[in-house]
Structure 1
Amino acid sequence: MKNNSASHPSCDPASWHDETCVLHGDAGLSTDSALVAPIHYSATFKADDPQAFAEMANVPRHPGFYTRYGNPTHEHVAAILAKLEGTETALLTGSGMAAISTTVLALVSAGDHVIAQSRHYMSTTKLFEEVLVRFGVQVSIVEQTDLAAIEAAIRPNTRLIMLESPVNPTLVLTDLAAVAALARPRGILTVADNTFASPLNQQPHALGIDIVLHSATKYLGGHHDLTAGAVCCSALHAEKIWRMHTTLGAVLSPMDAWLLLRGLRTLPLRVQRINANALALAQWLEAQPQVEQVFYPGLESHPQHALAQRQMTGYGAVIAFAVRGNFEATSRFVASLELATHAVSLGGVDSLIVHTAAMWAGTMNEAQMQAADIAPNFVRMSVGVEHIDDLKADMARALQKL
């Protein structure tokens, strides 16, 4: 991976802060004098001669051969993401689920055993419970807060442990360092979905996790205008995952890659404001009589707050809370909000809110929702960068209507 040490001899990219990294972490990759990296909107790239073509066709992840294999715009994004997560490299995909499914399918085979959490993003759960088992992969689903249960689930053929922390939508945490300490001596790969935290609030690789995944649709893009995924890992793992990626073909378009690059430039500014807003709003919600319970890792009332303090530097956008009322009252509350838009996703500049039970009613039955701790009056909010006083006033008006 290139850096700009030559152009700035006094700078050490390894010691840059995040604010500098997102602006200069891809320096040296552009070949022209444009201040802003261009969009390389081409499906294929020409070779100067047969020898050059042979090299382009056979070098893994070549950025100038064919966009399904790689693209110069992808290279800019990957350079920054790898620096933010502290990994050797990064690979981009067309969505967060493409990053998850491509990674898992690249690393396991029939007869292998994998361990997954009892709480995951719903599509991740389906991958482990419904897809992998069809192809002869053994799957154990384990409570993520029970380290002894995770250790007990390990078998001689365990190849991978899939983690997610904080988890969607209940914000339960996994002790990433403890799981990594169980897995690494046994030669088991660990994969962590870091979407809900962002690399600015949590760095799983520094805690011993091998591969870090993101739905870049969320914080990394930050403006609700793209769909993308990212895999951050070693060069060796990236090449193996890339080979599966070229087969499955979940390609990120150059335009979306450029939008993602643009979003990354302001990531530290946005996350700083989002962290402050979310913590302030969570603390305010705890004091409201119309709210039964608030779930946010930054609150002292969160049962895993001590763990959050150990492995996170900020607590993110997402607040989950239960209002006092039934399913219908909760729906009225959500519909009454004016600033928090009723929409899925998270981590962007706009505040978004969903009535969780209503959102998942079509994909989970009542027993599954109970197992996932999703009550009828449960709400998930992704706090944006609006002024905190305006968010509180909007929330207060809606709570009065319960």
Structure 2
Amino acid sequence: MHEAHGFSTRAIHAGQEPDPLTGAVVPPIYATSTYKQDGVGGLRGGYEYSRSGNPTRTALETCLASIEGGARGFAFASGLAAEDTVLRALLKPGDHVIIPNDAYGGTFRLFDKVAARWGLRYTAAPITDLDAVAQSLDQGTRMIWVETPTNPLLNIADIAELAALAHQNDAILVVDNTFASPYLQQPLALGADVVVHSTTKYLGGHSDVVGGAVVVDDEVLAEPIAFHHNSMGAVAGPFDAWLTLRGIKTLAARMDRHCDNAEAIAEFLAGHDAVAEVRYPGLSTHPGHDVAGKQMKRYGGMISFRHKHGEEAAVEMCSRTEVFTLGESLGGVESLIEHPGRMTHASVAGSALEVPSDLVRLSVGIEDPGDLLADLRQALGS
């Protein structure tokens, strides 16, 4: 699929040419662990064992690279498996990484409880403050790791500025693009070296598959990632790859609807008496609004807000919604509500990354916007 084609065309067709034998327009699920060889070392299409390569996974990886504007894509069993492989492939014990001081709880746990035992050092810094990030650099810094927007506070990192800072200091920039999706944001085009995703979220889009992805545009980085992808083995299975491909086909259409609904809800919450603060990059009051407008196509489907009446009121509100489902994860067609402090970000409790106890996070789905607004209105008690 030619890179000159538009986003949706590539999302539907890249890596997914009709089957040459049957003409099937959807890639088959190659549910096989091994492949017949035409003599010793005579591989058909390069396939020998499905940990090393599977045609369904290849289709997904080709599509991932295309929609992120990269040269190589890698599909993993989960987003955290993707993150762990990036760390093992590109760093060594003793290296230093700067991470967001409001990182996703699972990412923080990976650095703090897993990678630190391997000898990796990290510093948590406010990624919205370039000077603070620069002051966190040391002689061993080899990577700056950012989410933008961040989870769950929706802070915005300036990807181009952080990429320049990283490269000036012999480090690479990794961007977790899960919240934005490739449709809304293209980190590689802004100077990032590595993009990671939880494909469980917007890429899969239907809350029915767990997966992760890494995309790079540099073969020097791709080679160690490919080696560790195979050697560590946390690869996407063929059915998971097929489900994720199915989701990607409608990514652009879904993201526009997610954004439409989120914009309406953010405006409603910003005017509600029970809401102390709304964290949504699309609001002009958001401190990262201008940067988001520069590097994002639209502002996404995630909203966080602080309940004016405190933690218990926030928790109670989460239990009162009827259209919004109380649950972890995000990015599916259905709207979800959660209390990060007790749910997705419980792993950062007591740390410097602890989130406000009165915070509520919404993953705004694609239902009728009137129903979503009515549900929040009754749950907030007005």
Give the letter aligned to residue 14 of structure 2: G
Aligned counterparts of 1:29 and 1:128: Cα–Cα separation in 2: 42
Deviating 4+ runs (over 3 angstroms): 27-31
Aligned counterparts of 2:287 and 2:378: Cα–Cα separation in 1: 29
Given that 1:29 and 1:76 are in contact with CA atoms closer than 8 Å, whether structure 2 keeps it comes out as: no
Aligned counterparts of 1:291 and 1:215: Cα–Cα separation in 2: 30
Q: CA deviation at 1:285?
A: 1.1
- Residue 42 of structure 1 corresponds to 32
Q: CA deviation at 1:361?
A: 7.2
Given that 2:261 and 2:364 are in contact with CA atoms closer than 8 Å, whether structure 1 keeps it comes out as: yes
Give the letter aligned to residue 14 of structure 1: E
Q: CA deviation at 1:356?
A: 1.8
Q: Do structure 1's residue 121 and structure 2's residue 110 form an aligned pair?
A: no
Aligned counterparts of 1:290 and 1:139: Cα–Cα separation in 2: 38
Superposed, 1:316-331 pairs within 5 Å as 316-331=300-315
- Residue 296 of structure 1 corresponds to 280
Aligned counterparts of 1:372 and 1:136: Cα–Cα separation in 2: 21
Range moving further from structure 2, 151-160 or 305-314: 151-160
Given that 1:164 and 1:193 are in contact with CA atoms closer than 8 Å, whether structure 2 keeps it comes out as: yes
- Residue 15 of structure 1 corresponds to 4
Aligned counterparts of 1:137 and 1:377: Cα–Cα separation in 2: 33
Q: CA deviation at 1:329?
A: 2.0
- 1:180-214 CA-to-partner distances (Å, cap 9, x unmatched) read 01122333111111101101111110110000000
Given that 1:200 and 1:314 are in contact with CA atoms closer than 8 Å, whether structure 2 keeps it comes out as: no
Residue from 111, 116, 120 that aligns with 1:137: 120
Range moving further from structure 2, 382-391 or 176-185: 176-185
Q: CA deviation at 1:373?
A: 6.1
- Residue 216 of structure 1 corresponds to 199
- Residue 13 of structure 2 corresponds to 24
- Are the structure 2 counterparts of residues 220 and 379 from structure 1 closer, same or farther at C-alpha, using a change threshold of 3 Å? same
- Residue 42 of structure 2 corresponds to 52
Give the letter aligned to residue 255 of structure 2: V
Give the letter aligned to residue 253 of structure 1: G
- Are the structure 2 counterparts of residues 360 and 261 from structure 1 closer, same or farther at C-alpha, using a change threshold of 3 Å? closer
Range moving further from structure 2, 136-145 or 93-102: 136-145
- 1:87-113 CA-to-partner distances (Å, cap 9, x unmatched) read 101000000000101111111112322
- Residue 334 of structure 1 corresponds to 318
Partner-residue secondary structure (3-state), 1:357: coil
Given that 2:325 and 2:336 are in contact with CA atoms closer than 8 Å, whether structure 1 keeps it comes out as: yes
Give the letter aligned to residue 37 of structure 1: P
Range moving further from structure 2, 372-381 or 334-343: 372-381
- 1:227-266 CA-to-partner distances (Å, cap 9, x unmatched) read 0000000333222112112222212110011000111111
5+ residue gaps, structure 2, are none
- Residue 68 of structure 1 corresponds to 51
- Residue 392 of structure 1 corresponds to 373
Q: Do structure 1's residue 238 and structure 2's residue 219 form an aligned pair?
A: no
Count of residues in correspondence between the two structures:
380
- Residue 234 of structure 2 corresponds to 250
Partner-residue secondary structure (3-state), 1:199: helix
- Residue 175 of structure 1 corresponds to 158
Partner-residue secondary structure (3-state), 1:213: strand
Q: CA deviation at 1:29?
A: 7.5
Q: Cα RMSD over matched residues?
A: 1.8
Partner-residue secondary structure (3-state), 2:151: coil
- Residue 349 of structure 1 corresponds to 333
Given that 1:317 and 1:346 are in contact with CA atoms closer than 8 Å, whether structure 2 keeps it comes out as: no
Q: Do structure 1's residue 377 and structure 2's residue 366 form an aligned pair?
A: no
Q: CA deviation at 1:360?
A: 5.1
> TM-score, normalising length from structure 2?
0.95
Range moving further from structure 2, 161-170 or 216-225: 161-170
Aligned counterparts of 1:75 and 1:360: Cα–Cα separation in 2: 31
Which of 1 and 2 has higher RCO (CA within 8 Å, sep 6+)? Answer: 2
- Residue 270 of structure 1 corresponds to 254
Give the letter aligned to residue 396 of structure 1: R
Give the letter aligned to residue 385 of structure 1: I
Partner-residue secondary structure (3-state), 2:379: helix
